[in-house]
Structure 1
Amino acid sequence: MNQCWLRSDKAKPSGPGRKFLLLSLLWLRFFPLFSYQVQIQQCKVIPGSMSLPALQKNGDIILGGLFSVHDMVVEPNLSFTSIPPPTKCTKFNFRTFRWLQTMIFAIEEINKDQKLLPNITLGYKIYDSCSTPYHALRAANELMGAEEGSEDKGEKKVNGTNGSCHGAVPVLIGDGGSTQSLVVARFLGVFHVPQVSYFSSCACLSNKKEFPAFLRTMPSDLFQVDALVQLVKHFRWTWVGVIAGDDAYGRGGANIFAEEVAKFGACLALHEIIPKNHAKAAMAAIVSRIQCIVFHNGTLTGIQWLASEAWSTASVLSTPTKYRHILQGSMGFAIRRANIPGLQDFLLRLHPSNPDALDNPFLIPFWEEVFGCSLSVGSEGQEHGDGGKPPCSGAEELGSVRNIYSDVSQLRISYNVYKAVYAIAHSLEAMRRCEKGKGPFPLHACPDIDSIQPWQLLHYLKQVEYMNAFGDETKFDQNGDPMAMYDLVNWQLTSKGEIKFVTIGKFDKTTTVGKQKLQIQERNIVWNGNQTTVPLSVCSSICSPGTRKAIRPNFPICCHDCVAYAIECVRCLPEFWSNAENTACIPKEVEFLSFSDTMGITLMAVALLGFFCTCIVVVIFSCYKSTPIVRANNSELSFLLLFSLTLCFLCSLTFIGRPSDWSCMLRHTAFGITFVLCISCVLGKTIVVLMAFRATLPGSNVMKWFGPAQQKAIITLCTLVQVVICTVWLVVTPPTPRQLMPRESAIIILLCDEGSALAFSLVLGYIGLLACLCLILAFLARKLPDNFNEAKLITFSMLIFCAVWVAFVPAYISSPGKYSTVTEIFAILASSYGLLICIFAPKCYIILLRPEKNTRKHFISKITTDNLFS
């Protein structure tokens, strides 16, 4: 072969020229070794063709770049009567343009570095692949072809050797999409020109027989699928659907995911491929199938979305308000990100007035798209097509606009571009440092850094291994893939109504044996609908005993209904339950409030704590019984009240444990009598306080009717009434143990039956009557002098007491099983603590911490109370 023909027009090759180009590529594909030995004498551009626009800068070594700066291509109408006009790329992509600028930023950063590649300047030549394989292949063809030179009769002639035209780049960074990279990788693989992609994740590109020169800083879909499968397994989801785009990335990843989830028993609800052209009929059919199987309500809300890395942090979906109620709570894997210092300032440097703006073919469409204005004037305006946009004022600044181009908060793909540039730079540095006689090539030869051969650079790229400034290690495995590490991100709605990407875990494929590859902080997850509990994803629940599976028509095999067996069953007795196999009746489990379970231990501890606190108060009052505050509050009644409180705390322990005849009788009667004794003491103290202040009136001798003997009589009489009620209760219909055996439950509830609801009501009613009477009398004494606040303390304690027991009645009636017992114990302890704290805590405080108030003078400062001292 004596010539290589390079087409650079914007129409697809057709006719004999196209056949010749295809035959040439086939020849080179099947005989790559021969192609390196052919001396190409001349490179020609077919007359009438047009070069693609490129952003370039000279240097000692030129790096090629492919970026889909535009998302779509408008194909021209072909009349076949004249040379077709160039195709037009539309829909400028700000995100991809940021990736392009990141490549330039990394190259300039390396050029400024005196340690990496000293005395060597890197240049670049970057093309727009317009998100289509055809444009990507044309751009790769130009990067492998000729540099601009002198023209002679419509031809460009450049001498070249070593199997490539002079001026071809030794390495290519790109493309982003897997579909474009597949085409380019096949072409470059013929010449063994290394290609480092930053965003192509198709697992098919790991095949080194097909793509020997392809490497990437983007993990393969195999790793991502593994991460998604581990996520589904972690949350035990067995009912999932797959929706993917109609390209190599979408089809390949979806197929691998479907195969892997099926291995652990998950069921695929749907597997839909969205066509590239978004045809209405095809889209309507897909939506109909999705609604039929999953979204019975006809909407997408309430669905938990799992995102691939392609859109797990996509601002184009998270920014629009119309998507937030659907996608909030989404979860997905994203490649590792980094904060690249200085990148944002570099991105904002662009301006049409800069000297290098004329050499940037992408700046004008970028500027016009950002600011919605036109930089075109006159005939140039016709060329660029201003579309009726107003002219730009020249005062526009990128820093004043907030868009995805200048957003550096989620530098993930940009970080991949950055790592790709540095991987190439470190490979070139390794080539430069090669010592003569110790090289990796035949006869231990070293490469010539001044005339780099792509296949030599490919060798060094495969061996590259370095730690970057962000602490991440960059190297490639035998398939040209990087280490697989992902961040697990969660889409959470902020108070401002914006979507925030919160990292809630990670997936590390390089984790050593014995450690989990998937790590999740579940407490930080906010699910769809702002829920904090893991959503359930199963098509059908496990059938209960006595039923079998019945497959649903037109549904996957894992979806079924549960129908009863067509056999005769024998009902178990109430105290028995059917076993898992429905072959025998086994005894039900007995449930009661025991000393061994957590709730019983907690209540017992609280009761004993109250008992010991009461004993401490008794000790304090005994040590300071001669002080005015103890004497002024009727020390005998105080000690009797403390004794009754100890009994109240201890009687709560009788409610814990397995119910028996004696425990059931003891717990209710002990509770009723001890509480009446307690309230009687409080009532006696209240009457004494009230009468004592009435006795201060001239000529009053009322206190002779409320002396110590009368007080004891009041307490004895009040307690005796409760004793009579309890005795009659025990004789007529005593409380006894009872079993609750609901047929629909596998548990037997063991509790104490009150025996007589009337007797139980009388016991509670009598306690309530005394408490209300005590509260009324204490309320009447509320205006006593501040220095003597016994009545106020009793009022507070009775308010707490009454509130607790008023709330107890409905709670006790509505509480099921052992929780009714828990409710009763809680009421006993709460009311006992209320009496202990409200009545005795202030006195202990004065006795121990404020002794200056514990004097006779303090108590008679406003009113004489000598007749209270005993």
Structure 2
Amino acid sequence: MARAEQQRLAQATSWSAAAPCPALAIPMGARAWKVTDKRPETDDTGLGDRTQPNATVCTRLSAPGLLWALAVMMAVEEINNASTLLPGLRLGYDLFDTCSEPVIAMKPSLVFMAKVGSRSIGAYCDYTQYQPRVLAVIGPYSSEVALVTGKFFSFFLMPQVSYGATTDRLSNRETFPSFFRTVPSDRVQATAMVELLRGLRWNWVAAVGSDDEYGRQGLGLFSSLANAKGICIAYEGLMPLPRAGGLRLGSVQSLLHQVNHSSVQVVVVFSSAHAAYSLFSYSIHYRLLPKVWVASETWLTSSLVMTLPGMERVGTVLGFLHQGAEMPEFRSYVQTRLARAAEPAYCASLEAGQLGLEEHVVGPRCPQCDRASPENVTDGLLYHQTFAAYAAVYSVAHALHKALLCNSSGCPAQEPLRPWQLLENMYNVSFRAYNRTLQFDSSGNVDLAYDLKLWVWQDRMPMLRTVGSFNGSLELQFSNMIWHTPGNQEPVSQCSRQCREGQVRRVKGFHSCCYDCVDCKAGSYQRHPDDALCSKCDQDQWSPDGSTRCFPRTPRFLAWGEPAVLGLLLLLGIVLGLVLLALGLFTWHRDSPLVQATGGPRACFGLACLGLVCLSVLLFPGRPSTANCMGQQLLLHLPLTGCLSTLFLQAAEIFVASELPPSWTDWLHSRLRGPWAWLVVLLAMLAEAALCSWYLAVFPPVVMTNWHALPTEALVHCRVSSWIMFGVVHATNAMLAFLCFLGTFLVQSQPGRYNSARGLTFAMLAYFITWVSYIPLFANVHVVSHPPVQMGTILFCVLGILATFHLPKCYLLLWRPDLNTPEFFLGGGPSDARGQGGSGHEEETQGKNK
């Protein structure tokens, strides 16, 4: 941590800093330093045994902490020796050790906030004019310590710049309004880890964190981000903080053994270096299988973990380190400083220059600083960590430059600067350090990219190899990666295999990464590789089973070239040819007794109507339109009514002649022939026309596109709007056919006479059989087959009437002209309508046969 005080009389600013290293907080009178204790203990101060709030002593020397303190010293000396940033002012520093303990860190914090010139903190309602001993604090490195000191300094709006506290909670401006840091938040690191897992297709992992602020919040961030990106955490746990004596990992022990026997090949470890040391010590001791270990930044570069015996057998270790600027002069600066510290005269001068304020207030100085060597300290020299401490000093110096209105000639004299005034200039301050431009955002964080580092073992110490980077997006260098697997194969950590294209995942159990692969059914497709459900195609599209895309549906209708249509057209040609043949014969023999007995001109009209009925089938093939759909019904029903009405008149004549008294016969015959007969035909057709017009106006058939009837095509067809009205339109023709059938079915044939009643009876039977069969057939066949079924029904109806009523007469006209006599068809003359002439004709016929 750091302090700054402005001495207006001397026109210099004395700025003190504290770092988690005791080396520079004591007189440096020893010739050499040596790190004698590297046990993974966190209780270096004996805080757990205290019964009184007395002085505490740190028992370990932290080499990285010493280097961070030296980086702060180097930055202060550069600023003081330059004439551009703070001309005419000098910065000073005092260094205090936190021992990574909030309790110890609070003591120098209280010293920093003491009123200038005293050791006491004044209690005021308004601290606007309060002048503490320092203007800014640098540090600490630990997130857990920073959470405590950050709240304390935020109360006084004292600027605090950390070079290592990465917990995301410190980004909360409401709780920590005066906290800044020159390293990215753990949220960025957790995001980079998740992107790494996604980039390497690892979605089945285990996650372990240390049971402290850093591990808990880091593990929580990673878990939430991983779940949001579809990465499943098979096993998750917190490691208790290590204590002296034994390897006690709590529930993590069983977790490690479960991971060891599972398909999980990747373990994310978000923990402190001491907790990671205990974790790998346990793994090495019990010879657990090697895995891929994704390291958090805290222990990735820890010499404590790197030098653990057997560490090379745990598998592949990789993790992210934030990028810093290279500081080529720093190594020589460290060596120079440590060499000077070995000189007794230099240490004596330090003791003479300091009156021991810190020893009286904070406690005794580090007892092991005289046993450290330059070789041990510089072994862990990493520029990305020392640069953060170096940059923290420059951030405060640039804020001072703005607050004091400094220029190239100097800093104008003004009232003493207070911490809250300096804080106003810290927000969004942009500063340069080793040719890198940094800026605090609204949360007090800086935007620094990450390098992905891989441990590559050389002898007994791993080297950090850069195999990728993360700056909002991940970039991997696969060619530089080395894996612990045989043949250097990339490890696979998945609960289930990757589904093939066109398959989606059916989740098994609680984890979305454990699933069965299921093919997308026809009509659906796989939109994205990670989809859990198939997406339905639009109604105008289709897809086969196991598809990744949809295809446009092609329109389907009864085309002219289809085999069914060609067969029906052939049948149409035959039926229409027979109709025209019959019509020609009836017209040619229009004055013969046979034609006259059949109705004469009415018979020709009925045949012409049958021909129009045949032609109505030509409206069914081709792409349907509204006109076609309406014309199909109109051209079918009106001509059919015309034909049936002529047959009805023929049936009525036969019924009158056979079943009614003679007194009624002549009068009814006169009404059933001539103009009155044509009036009946006209009235029947007008009635049918009225029904058809109402049907087409109120319930018109519509052209419909059925998207679901066919798997790959869109069926375009005419849809009946009302089946009830469709039946009513058919009712007129059905009634005429039924009356014809009733009028001829019970009529007895007369000897020697042509039996027209029998032909009409069979014609009506053919009509009813055809249309009654049409109903179940139409209801049961696929909608695609509806048009050809209707075409076939119409043609067979016409053919049935033609074959049973008209073609027998054509046979007599062509091959039995001898029977085409009035006696055979008309009963000898109009006056003998009851059959006498027919009896004589029968005798004549029998004589000829003899």
* TM-score, normalised by the number of residues in structure 1: 0.47
Using CA pairs under 8 Å that are at least 6 residues apart, name the structure with larger relative contact order, 1 or 2.
2
From the CA coordinates, give the structure whose radius of gyration is larger: 2
